[in-house]
Amino acid sequence: MAKDYFQRRLDDKRRLTIPSELREEFASGVVVTPGFGKYLHLYSVEVWNHIVEPALRGDILDESVGDKNVKLRMGKIESNLDLKQGRFTLENNLLEYAGISKEVVAVRTGQYWRIIAAEYATT
């Protein structure tokens, strides 16, 4: 059964460690964007390039497509995952946006993950 939830503590360098059983999913790299609420989106580079990017192209005159582009691209980071230790660094602007200090909860939401400050996560 695939893992669809994990909780972690960021290290002092703002690095998030992905559980070992999920690292292969992010072998192509990670993309982190602001979410549509007080959370972050975590995508594999493969999902970003093959699913999100085509969806963001949309109709050039469609304001909702423009709004989604602005939301997901402002503050977006792309990084390689250290496959041995399974870590990547979250930028301060993203942590501030989501209200994350140390503890995070990550939940699979289809083909991407939501990263939520542990104190905002509800069960």
Please tell me the predicted confidence (pLDDT) of residue 1. Answer: 52
Long-range CB pairs of 48-54 (<8 Å, 24+ gap) are: 48/78, 51/111, 52/112
Helix (H, G, I), strand (E, B) or coil at 40: strand
What does the block give as tokens for 101? 């200090």
Please tell me the predicted confidence (pLDDT) of residue 113. Answer: 97
Please tell me the predicted confidence (pLDDT) of residue 90. Answer: 96
List CB contacts of 96: < 8 A, sequence separation 6 or more: none
What's the whole-model pTM score?
A: 0.91
pLDDT exceeding 70 applies to what percent of the chain? 98
Q: Which tens digits make up the pLDDT trace of 3-55?
A: 899 999 999 999 999 999 999 999 999 999 999 999 999 999 999 999 999 99
Q: What is the mean pLDDT of the chain?
A: 93
Q: Which domains does the chain have, with CATH numbers?
A: 5-120 (3.40.1550.20)
